[in-house]
Amino acid sequence: MSKYILRRLMLMIPVLIGVTFLVYFIISLTPGDPAAMILGNGATEEAVVQLREDMGLNDPVIVQYGNYMKDLFTGDMGTSYSTGKAVSGEIGQRFPNTFKLTVSAIILSVLISIPIGVVSATRQYSLFDNVGMIVALVGISMPSFWVGLILIIAFSLNLGWFPSGGMDGIMSLILPAFTLAIASTASITRTTRSSMLEVIRQDYIDTAKAKGVSANVVIRKHALKNALIPAITVIGLEFGVLLGGAVLTETVFSWPGIGRLMVESIQRKDTPMVLGCIIVFAVAFSLVNLLIDILYSFIDPRIKANYK
Partner 1 sequence: MSAKVETLSAEELLKTKKRSQSADVWKRLKRSKTAVLGIVLIAMFLGMALFAPVIADYEGEALKLNVKERLEGPSANHIFGTDEFGRDIFARVVYGTRISLFVGIISVSIALSIGGFLGAIAGYYGGKIDNAIMRVLDVILAVPTILLAITIVASLGASMMNLMIAVGISNIPGFARIVRASVLSVKDQEFIEAAKAIGAKDHIIIMKHVLPNSMAPIIVYATLKVATAIMATASLSFIGLGVQPPTPEWGSMLAGGRAYIRDQMYIVMYPGLAIVLTVLSLNLIGDGLRDALDPKLK
Which residues contact partner 1 (rule: CB under 8 A)?
14-16, 18-19, 22-23, 26-31, 134, 137-138, 140-146, 149-150, 152-153, 157, 240-241, 243-245, 247-248, 251-252, 262-263, 266-267, 274, 278, 281-282, 285-286
Cβ nearer to partner 1, comparing 19 with 116: 19
Whether 120 and 128 have beta carbons less than 8 Å apart is answered as yes
Rounded to a whole number of angstroms, the minimum distance from the CB of residue 199 to partner 1 is 16
Count other Cβ atoms within 10 Å, centred on residue 157.
Answer: 10
Measuring CA to CA, how many Å separate 146 from each of 153, 256, 280? 11, 19, 26
- Residue 152 beta carbon to partner 1: minimum distance, rounded to whole angstroms: 7
Backbone conformation region of residue 168, classed left if phi is above 0, alpha if psi is from -120 to 50, else beta: beta
Q: How far is the CB of 130 from partner 1 (least distance, A)?
A: 10
Minimum CB separation from partner 1 for residue 282, in Å? 5
Instruction: Specify the residue, 152 or 228, whose C-beta has the smaller distance to partner 1.
Output: 152
Closer by beta carbon to partner 1, 65 or else 281: 281
Distance in Å, CB of 215 to partner 1, minimum: 26
**Shorter beta-carbon distance to partner 1: residue 142 or 229:** 142
Minimum distance between the CB of residue 245 and partner 1, rounded to whole angstroms?
A: 8
Closer Cβ to partner 1, 227 or 274, answer by number: 274
Nearer to partner 1, 64 or 286 (CB): 286
